[in-house]
Chains A and B, each alone.
Chain A
Amino acid sequence: MNQSTLGQTNIISILFFFLFIALTLYITFWAAKKSKTASDFYAAGHSISGLQNGLALAGDFMSAASFLGIAGMVALTGFDGLIYSVGWLVGWPVVLFLIAEPLRNLGKYTFADVVAYRLRQKPVRVVAAFGGIVTVIFYLLAQMVGAGTLVKLMFGLPYEAAIIIIGGLIIAYVLIGGMLATTWVQIIKAALLLGGATVLALLTLARFGFHFGALLETAEQKFTINFLLPGGLVKNPLDTISLGLALMFGTSGLPHILMRFYTVPNAKEARKSVFFATGFIGFFYILTFILGFGAAILVGHDVILNIDKGGNMAALLLAEVLGGQVFLGYLAAVAFATILAVVAGLALAGASALSHDIYASVIKKGNPSEKGELKVAKYSTLGLGIVAIVLGILFKGQNVAFMVGLAFAVAASSNFPALLMSILWKKFTTPGAVASMLAGLGLAIILIILSPTIWVDVLKHPTALFPLKNPGLVSIPASFLVGILVSLVTREKEAGERFEAEIIQASLGAGGGK
């Protein structure tokens, strides 16, 4: 490939994008008619099926960063990209085995419902909501800044305009259509993206006689066997394992993922949804691997690097080579849609932490008027949408790729340990939960600042004070340890007494044995 039309205004792409917006806004108004109660707004009235929720969950993970970023990483580094994507997948079985079912049976709308189940509401809710919001904001920031840059690269649209369009649309989806609209936007996007990536992978394989081995052999001839072997990513295996642990347990602590388990009617559907999600995501990463190899061979490293140093445009360039302007336009529009769908889910998760955990459970002590809670939820959504726009513009041009890793580290170190201990451990106490969440949150943030990720790459110091790029290996066990130690030195009789009720409800569903 010699040159690309990427970055010029692409009419086809804009057309596809308007089609997507029209369709999703239509769905949003349809959803608005069905959404009246708080349960509708937060949890789509528990009306989503396991398969639909599986697609929506998969959609949350098939973000622009993972589609464009991992394809780019495979295109530039080969096998390392596969190692990286495997880390993203293995969190899903953990969500299923440890979290999905008790979460669905014990909680109402947020993960803090479960952490605070038998502990003192006020301190636990406040800290859990804080951890949830911090996770959401880091994730959101990475999505927004990445989005602005991508849109500029793809359409030539100014950065600020892209940010404001995204912010405005997600506010509309969530505010008007609540969780039902947010879920369907995510489902449609996931289907469009999976469809597009499958066609692109088939077009790639067609060039190699539909022979996966031939694709790999061509890459080997062109880039030597090193391209098919582990490279820089596992030079320090502790680094990779630390990142892997953060991804593995972070998935079980992401508020926007956990919230989706309340949209299905029962634990059975919740389990099924993880099975479908894992299948879709795994299939998608295998496709992404094929696309990365295809791009390396058919587009070439020079062209990929020329357009974007990070390699983010590899999949789109491949689409241009194999499917021409129309296919490029389609895929670029879907990549933009991807960002919208993920950010909408994040905004809803953040808003529910404010309205359900802080307003309804702490300020109104668990007895809010439904109208009042919904009102606060909607104002919070509007507020978070505006925060997303402002942060997106403030951080323009900054290197925020590490923000996603940080969001996972915080989720794995702050939200996940408290959630797990509250489900499993009788002697867990309120001070234990609060200390565990604060320690996890604090350590994750402090260690990542001292790590090569920020201390060297962003702040330009010569050597890092903490050797690992991701804090997970230290901050996750530390959070468990702090939670255990503090719980052991404090006693909370009522919390221990309510443990049996919690286990019964977690196993038998709401209403316990009654």
Chain B
Amino acid sequence: MDEKKIFQEQEFQELYRKRRLVSFVLTFLTMGIYIFFILLDAFDREIMAYKVFGGVTLGISMGIGVIIFSWILTGIYVVWANQKYDRQIESFRRKVGNIQ
């Protein structure tokens, strides 16, 4: 099967669109959370002083929270891509190979 045909396969288009959507959503989520954190730091200093638990302020919990959350997002993406997405890609690749 030539490249044009593979590209036009509906299954391939769906996989391609899905991965692009997941990538963009996660990228904007990361950016959004970071910018939200900076703006909150800049415009609502008082709320950052709020004690969440035992001496730990909201600001510090949020800063460490953004770090941990970013890591969790990479984990979600890797689990999705390495298991679900790759399996679908693999089955598509076999199918294309068979047609050939």
* Residues of chain A whose beta carbon lies under 8 Å from any beta carbon of chain B: 79, 82-83, 85-87, 89-90, 92-94, 96-98, 101, 211-214, 216-217, 220, 225, 228-230, 234-235, 237, 240-241, 244, 248, 268, 271-272, 274-275, 278-279, 282, 285-286, 289, 424, 500-501, 503-504, 507-508, 512-514
A96–B78 contact, CB under 8 A?
yes
Contact flag A229-B31 (CB < 8 Å), given A83-B38, A86-B37: no
Q: A101-B81, A229-B45, A229-B57 are in contact. Are A87 and B34 (CB under 8 A)?
A: yes
CB-based contact B49/A225 at 8 Å: yes
Of B4, B55, B57, B74, which is within 8 A of A278 by CB?
Answer: B74
Minimum CB–CB distance from A79 to chain B (whole Å) comes to: 6
Q: Contacts of B23 on A, CB cut-off 8 Å?
A: 97-98
* Interfacial chain B residues near A85, Cβ < 8 Å: 67
| B63 adjacent to A86 (CB under 8 Å) | yes
Report yes or no: A96 in contact with B77, Cβ–Cβ below 8 A.
yes
What residue in chain A is nearest B44 (Cβ atoms)?
A230
The 6 tightest CB contacts between A and B, nearest first, are: A213-B55, A213-B54, A237-B42, A217-B55, A230-B41, A500-B7
Give min CB distance, A254 to chain B, whole Å. Answer: 17
Contacts A83-B63, A213-B56: A513 and B93 contacting too (C-beta < 8 A)? yes
B48: contacting residue among A89, A230, A286, CB under 8 A: A230
Determine the chain B residues whose CB is within 8 A of the CB of A220 once the complex forms. Answer: 55
Closest to A512 in B: B3
B96: chain A residues within 8 A (beta carbon): 513
Shortest Cβ distance from A107 into chain B, in angstroms?
18
With a cutoff of 8 Å between Cβ atoms, the chain A residues found around residue B24 in the complex are: 97
Distance in Å: Cβ of A290 to nearest Cβ of chain B: 10
Nearest residue (CB) in A for B28 is A97
User: Is A278 within 8 A of B42, CB to CB?
Assistant: no
Residue with the highest number of chain B CB atoms closer than 10 Å, among A230, A272, A285, A508? A230
Contacts of B6 in A (CB 8 A): 500, 504, 512-513
Known: A213-B55, A241-B38, A504-B6. A89 touches B70 (CB 8 A): yes
Distance from B86 Cβ to chain A, minimum over Cβ atoms (Å):
6
Cross-chain contact B34 with A214 (CB below 8 angstroms): no
Q: Which of B3, B31, B73, B97 contacts A500 (CB 8 A)?
A: B3
Say whether A282 contacts B56, CB under 8 Å: no
Does B41 lie within 8 Å of A93, measured CB to CB? no
Please measure, in the bound complex, the distance between the C-alpha atom of A115 and the C-alpha atom of B6, giving whole angstroms.
Answer: 23
A79, A90, A94, A211: the one contacting B54 at CB < 8 Å is A211
Q: How far is the CA of A92 from the CA of B68 in the complex (A)?
A: 12
Interface residues in chain B, defined as those with a beta carbon under 8 Å from any beta carbon in chain A: 1, 3-4, 6-7, 12, 15-16, 19-20, 22-24, 26-27, 30-31, 34-35, 37-39, 41-43, 45, 48-49, 53-57, 59-60, 63-64, 66-68, 70-71, 73-75, 77-78, 81-82, 86, 89, 92-93, 96-97, 100
CB distance from B73 to the nearest CB of A (A): 5
Does B93 contact A93, Cβ atoms closer than 8 Å? no
Contact, CB under 8 Å: B97 / A230: no
User: How many angstroms between the C-alpha atoms of A245 and B59 in the bound complex?
Assistant: 21
Instruction: Report the separation of the CA atoms of residues A275 and B71 in the bound assembly, to the nearest whole angstrom.
Output: 7
Query: Do A507 and B4 form a contact, CB below 8 Å, given A220-B55, A240-B38, A282-B70?
Result: no
Bound-state Cα–Cα, A211 to B53, Å: 12
The smallest beta-carbon distance between A32 and chain B, in angstroms, is: 33
**Do residues B55 and A214 form an inter-chain contact, with CB atoms below 8 A?**
yes
Given A101-B81, A507-B89: A244 and B34 interface contact (C-beta under 8 Å): yes
B82 & A272 in contact (Cβ 8 Å cutoff): yes
The answer to whether residues A98 and B34 also contact, given A89-B67, A234-B42 and a CB cut-off of 8 A, is no
Contact B45 A504 (CB under 8 A): no
Q: What residues of B have a CB within 8 angstroms of the CB of A507 in the complex?
A: 12, 15-16, 19, 89
Determine if B93 and A216 form an interchain contact, defined as CB atoms under 8 angstroms apart. no
User: Which B residue sits closest to A247, measured CB to CB?
Assistant: B34
A355–B10 CA distance with the chains assembled, in angstroms: 41
Among the listed B3, B74, B93, which residue makes an inter-chain contact with A275, where contact means beta carbons less than 8 Å apart? B74
Query: In the complex, what distance in Å separates the CA atom of A103 from the CA atom of B74?
Result: 17
Interface pair A90/B55, CB less than 8 Å apart: no
How many angstroms from the CA of A43 to the CA of B57 in the assembled complex?
A: 45
**Residue pair B30, A93 in contact (C-beta under 8 Å):** yes
Across the interface, which residues of A come within 8 angstroms of B93, CB to CB? Answer: 508, 513
Contact with A501, one of B3, B26, B45, B82 (Cβ below 8 angstroms): B3
Q: In the bound complex, how far is the Cα of B6 from the Cα of A507, in angstroms? A: 12
Check if B57 sits within 8 Å of A90, measured CB to CB.
no
* Contact residues in A for B73 (Cβ distance below 8 Å): 93
Nearest-CB residue, chain B, relative to A212: B56
Are B97 and A513 within 8 A (Cβ)? yes
Q: Can you pick out 14 interface pairs between chain A and chain B where the beta carbons lie within 8 Å of each other?
A: A79-B48, A82-B60, A83-B37, A87-B34, A92-B74, A93-B74, A94-B30, A212-B56, A213-B54, A234-B38, A241-B35, A248-B31, A424-B20, A500-B4
